[in-house]
Amino acid sequence: MPFEYLPLPGAPVGQLDTPALVIDMDVAEKNISRLQKWANRNKMGVRPHSKTHKTPLFAHKQMAAGAIGICCAKVGEAEVMVAGGVKEILIANQIVGATKIARLVALANDASITVAVDDAANVRDLSAAASAAGREIGVIVEVDTGMHRCGVDGGAATRKLAKLIASSPGLRFDGVMGYEGHVVAQRDFEERKTEATAAARALVEAAEDLRKAGLPCKIVSAGGTGTYNITGTVKGITDLQCGSYIFMDGDYLEVFKDFSPALSVLATVISRPVKGRAVTDAGIKAISVDRGLPKVIGIEGAKVAGLSEEHGRLEVSGAAEKLKVGDKVSLLPMHGDTTINLYSHYACVRKGKLEAMVEIAGRGRSR
């Protein structure tokens, strides 16, 4: 495959070739620092989810700020993090199948690895692979705290799995996790608070129940960006799994403005066929639409009317009618994680100039 054209550091952002995935590094670093400071004040651990950035550079910035470890969704992402030097990994997901479990166990040579489970047969497979390799894997039970995706109910089902883990060779019982994904994007703060608090309390209760049964829970992990300051104040929760806060996105900005948008897609106007319409080079292969159409940043009278595969269609009026072929347009994606997953590189900029093109090494590693 031919190498991609990559610009040199120092290039003004407006000169970047497009579509480009632009990160304002000052803003991203401020978001990292802001969450960590909040957590420090509240004596809460931060275990940022790397499924957002998929890149060791940002994981290291989070660790340097004070994070206690990094979450991953897939073994392929964890491989990238461990190869990039991250030493403390929590895979907040079920890892199923002989191939993936073998890779998971191999990671324990270079890092501390903990994985979530919600199934007894999966625990036995993990135990067999870890003990055969002479390695120890941390395991936590995923509790369904109301999202109704994966996870078992707190109480008897959790106890049964925890006991199995604790008695399985090669495994170390580390505790529980529960992700309140059903409430993180709830727009109303009071509703979000009520529901997220209930979810976090259910998880803490499951942990207390295990402790009574002689199964100490080092990890009681939960939380997303939208619930950091709710879940993060519930006594008994040990750490937060926030991911999106590092860059924010258009959807989360409709939840709150506690963190600032660091991510945008730079596009070029490639066609200006008629009054009222401008077409850019950023379609749905450059900006995800699973949470809605992106927003034009800073151009009065310009609005994204639709994206096709390779084109963005803008409605323009007033001052925006001045847009001409070759002009650059900044767009705010509604969903950062899925937009980032389309790109091979970040254009990391500071004060309007390119600092570095950074490979998104975990991109597409969904296995």
Q: Rule CB under 8 A: which of 187-226 touch its own copies?
A: none
- The correct pick among 27, 73, 177, 323 for binding its own copies (CB under 8 A) is 73
For its own copies (CB under 8 A), the number of binding residues is: 72
Measured from the CB of residue 52, what is the shortest distance to its own copies in angstroms? 10
Q: Which of 201, 218, 313, 350 binds its own copies (CB under 8 A)?
A: 313
Over the window 171 to 190, marking each residue x when it contacts its own copies by CB under 8 A and - when it does not, the resulting string is ----------x---------
**Is the separation of the CB atoms in 177 and 222 below 8 Å?**
yes
* Residue span 233-272 as binding mask against its own copies, x where in contact by CB under 8 A, dash where not: -----------------------------------xxxxx
275 binds its own copies (CB under 8 A): no
- By CB under 8 A, the residues from 278 to 297 that bind its own copies are 279, 281-286, 288-290
At position 80, the amino acid (one-letter code) is V
Q: Does 100 bind its own copies (CB under 8 A)?
A: yes
Residue 274's DSSP bridge partners are 277
Is 24 an interacting residue with respect to its own copies (CB under 8 A)?
no
Using rule CB under 8 A, residue 8 touches its own copies: no
For its own copies, the closer of residues 235 and 274 by Cβ is 274
Instruction: Tell how strand 277-280 and strand 295-296 pair up.
Output: unpaired
Q: Which residues contact 134 (CB under 8 A, 6 or more apart)?
A: none
Report residue 197 as tokens.
């608090």
Scan residues 337-356 and list those touching its own copies (CB under 8 A).
337-338, 341-344
